[in-house]
Structure 1
Amino acid sequence: MRLTARIIAVVAAICGIASIATACGNDVATEPSKDSDPVVVEINFSGDSVDPHGSQIDVPVGHRVELDVTADAAGEIHVHSDPEQSAAYGVGTTRISLGAFEIPGQYEVESHTLGKTIVTLEVK
């Protein structure tokens, strides 16, 4: 009888651990869909200034980023990502799609024309 009680206790413990592991598995957050609303960053160039300038923007992992650029002169934006991205913008309003950021980290968005950091994308 003692051996049977031990076996029942071990089986009960294993089943309890299995049910706890299964329950914990249900609490895992799912990754955002690439179809989720993008994070939109509005950027305004006027003369030698840019707004925002040096701001940090939070981006959930897996979300797309789009830049709405309004400028009084043409220029280029560079993103320190992997792979690195560059995009030209013209006078007026230009929408630049950077795609989805899958890897957590900080990604600087710069104006090569002005030599300034516009924003840092904080992907987490």
Structure 2
Amino acid sequence: MLKKPQVGRKKSISPAEIENEDIIMREKGSGTREVFEETMAKNNMRYRIKYVLNNTEAIKKAVQANIGVSVISKLAVKKEIRGGRLVKVDIENIRFERKFSIIYHKDKFKSNLFEEFIKHLYNYSIR
């Protein structure tokens, strides 16, 4: 979960605490929202989506303005977290995971560079 930094904030919250947060989420049909909703349902967690925005930058700005909290790709907020404008807060015993697939034509020639790229994706995904 992503929040605006505040002094004395916890690094994690209990699943029950998420019920009291104003959630800022992507629109229906986005992969991020699907992962969020599936994970919350699987863990029988209640939540309230207060705002729906259609792009990552708008969500980051809303969280920075302390309008609410969000679940978003860590790669999308790496710079803001490093700069102290946003903080990552874990929900205890909850892990949001999104799976991606790489597809290519079955007859495509796989160059060494292509094979290295596939290895890189695999190594990155198991971190």
**Structure-2-length-normalised TM-score:** 0.26
Name which one, 1 or 2, has greater alpha-carbon Rg: 1
Q: More strand per residue: 1 or 2? A: 1
Q: More helix per residue: 1 or 2? A: 2
**Structure-1-length-normalised TM-score:** 0.26
Kindly indicate whether structure 1 or structure 2 has the higher relative contact order, using CA contacts under 8 Å at least 6 residues apart.
Answer: 2
